[in-house]
Amino acid sequence: MSSEIAIKLQNVSKCYHIYDKPRDRLMQMVAGQRKQYYREFWALKDVSFEIKKGETVGIVGRNGSGKSTLLQVICGTLNQTVGDVQTLGRIGALLELGSGFNPEFTGHENVYMNAAILGLSRAEVDERYADIAAFADIGEFIHQPVKTYSSGMIVRLAFAVQAMVDPDILIVDEALAVGDERFQRKCFARLDELKAKGTSILFVSHSGPQVVELCDRAILMERGERVCTGSPMEVVRAYQKLIYAPAEEQPRLIEEFRAIGTDRIAVEASPVEAEQNAPEQDQYFDAGMVPESTTVYPEQGARIDAFEVFDKEGRRCNVLKAGGEYDIVMRGNLTDAVSRVFFAMHIRTVSGVVITGQRFPDEGKYFDCEGAEREFRVTFSCKMVMLPGVYFVGGGVWSESEPTLCHRILDASMFRVVSDQGLRSFGYMDVSVDEPALELF
């Protein structure tokens, strides 16, 4: 294996033997190869991929798709049935909640035990113990048995051990979903530090925005197979479309997603690098600005026909002036299959991060629209506080009853924000209110 590759899987499969009755296990031991008393369940099927040193790769997929089994095979806690797994360097892993901890031992004792398993000497653990305890921040509980810990405390200690020993490969399996927001932010900041040091990170999450923001690539798993590998935004979009699709549509979608391999959105990579010159009066609409990444979900009681942006003069536009007032309009139809619904709109960056959105009516409220088919038009009025760059608009219609998602479109339209003034803000949004003041003493 090349020294630039941290993880390499070749044609990896994992098979479990499923016995219908307990006695069948004994019968199988007696029968040997002559008769089979079990059913085969393939949790992984011919999975192959490589992860480079310093690369962060997200894995998404529905429950039961093989994500956790895959991570355990990579870590070595499960043996594959077929195929080859190669890893280079020390592996730190956050798998099942509390895995690797002895519940009878104190947190202090578990720190030393886990660090020893990772290959650290006692002297090395002594040197890093203060940092581990400070990162976990569970106070005097570190001297209490782990069996007395809450789930959040277990995650804090587990992440602190795995992340503070500077692993070459860090594997995180949905564990961060347990901690509070403040601790999650600290974890993601630590992940950024590890990435900067060249640590390879394998990250499993059901949170699309986390995968898009954190990862360099993403993998979609379904029924034990690697369906596709590509840009995080494209893979997450495929995953979200799959989980909301009717069962009869899913096989077709899976075959469609196998073609995913590169991000086909050919627009600016960073908002601050976008054109900043204000448009002339007749340049408020660019007919060539059409997204290539539009994803349309199945219609289940509603159909969205268009997302359009209008200025206050009623002109349809997609070249918007920073600070201007605009209306984002969603048009479509409702069928008699839905009754109480709400509408939502969001704006994404080029990398797929949702930077703002709005539902209508407010959370917990719905529009009662039971009856015959009818058209709808929802207007979201907003001030364009985004900094110059390219952005994508999407949204959907949801129902109080099943099916919850009536229709949804991602990247239905796109627009460019421009400015004729010098920029003071940076990032995505201009939140400045007054001119900053400077005092020197």
Residue 117's domain is classified under what CATH number?
3.40.50.300
Q: Which of 211, 235, 260 is the last residue of a domain?
A: 260
- Tokens at residue 24, please? 């069948």
Give the range of the structural domain holding residue 92, as residue numbers without chain letter. Answer: 5-260
Per the domain annotation, does 413 fall within a domain? yes
Cβ neighbours around 434 below 10 Å, total = 5
Cβ atoms of residues 418 and 320 within 8 Å: yes
pLDDT score, position 277: 42
Per cent of the chain over pLDDT 70 is 87
Per the domain annotation, does 439 fall within a domain? no
Which whole number is the average pLDDT over 220-228? 94
State whether 234 and 359 are in the same domain.
Answer: no
Which whole number is the average pLDDT over 276-294? 67
State whether 131 and 42 are in the same domain.
Answer: yes
Backbone phi, psi, residue 85, to 5°? -125, 125
- Tokens at residue 207, please? 């949170």
The more confidently predicted of residues 10 and 187 is 10
Per cent of the chain over pLDDT 90 is 38
The more confidently predicted of residues 116 and 245 is 116
Per the domain annotation, does 35 fall within a domain? yes
Which whole number is the average pLDDT over 16-33? 89
Sign of torsion over alpha carbons 351, 356, 359, 362: positive
Among 62-66, 401-405, 430-434, which is the least confidently predicted range? Answer: 430-434
Please give the Cα distance from 215 to 354 (Å, whole number): 15
Residue 441, pLDDT > 80, answer: no
Per the domain annotation, does 308 fall within a domain? yes
Where does the pLDDT of residue 272 fall: very low under 50, low under 70, confident under 90, or very high at 90 and above? Answer: very low
Which whole number is the average pLDDT over 60-69? 91
State whether 212 and 360 are in the same domain.
Answer: no
The more confidently predicted of residues 267 and 393 is 393
State whether 100 and 190 are in the same domain.
Answer: yes
Please give the Cα distance from 358 to 342 (Å, whole number): 11
Which whole number is the average pLDDT over 24-44? 89
Residue 243, pLDDT > 90, answer: no
User: Would you say how long the chain is, in residues?
Assistant: 441
Per the domain annotation, does 285 fall within a domain? no
State whether 336 and 226 are in the same domain.
Answer: no
Cβ atoms of residues 333 and 305 within 8 Å: yes
Per the domain annotation, does 290 fall within a domain? no
State whether 190 and 304 are in the same domain.
Answer: no
**Pairing label, strands 82-87, 56-61:** unpaired
Taking each helix axis from N to C end, the angle separating 232-244 and 250-257, rounded to the nearest 10 degrees, works out to 170
State whether 185 and 320 are in the same domain.
Answer: no
pLDDT score, position 264: 42
Q: What is the pLDDT of residues 67-113, one digit of tens each?
A: 989 999 998 889 999 999 999 988 988 876 666 789 999 999 999 99
Please give the Cα distance from 151 to 426 (Å, whole number): 38
SS (H, E, C) 266-289: CCCCCHHHCCCCCCCCCCCCCCCC
Domains held by the chain: number: 2
Residue 418, strand partner residues = 321
The more confidently predicted of residues 162 and 343 is 343
**pTM of the predicted structure, to 2 decimals:** 0.69
Residues 6+ apart with CB under 8 A from 122: 112, 116
Per the domain annotation, does 267 fall within a domain? no
Residue 434, pLDDT > 70, answer: no
Question: Mean pLDDT: which of 142-146, 209-213, 272-276 is highest?
Answer: 142-146
State whether 244 and 345 are in the same domain.
Answer: no
The one-letter code for the residue type at 112 is Y
- Tokens at residue 215, please? 């990862």
What CATH code is carried by the domain that includes residue 322?
2.70.50.60
Per the domain annotation, does 273 fall within a domain? no
Residue 275, pLDDT > 80, answer: no
Cβ neighbours around 58 below 10 Å, total = 27
State whether 203 and 109 are in the same domain.
Answer: yes
State whether 12 and 126 are in the same domain.
Answer: yes
State whether 254 and 343 are in the same domain.
Answer: no
State whether 301 and 397 are in the same domain.
Answer: yes
Residue 220, pLDDT > 80, answer: yes
Please give the Cα distance from 320 to 184 (Å, whole number): 35
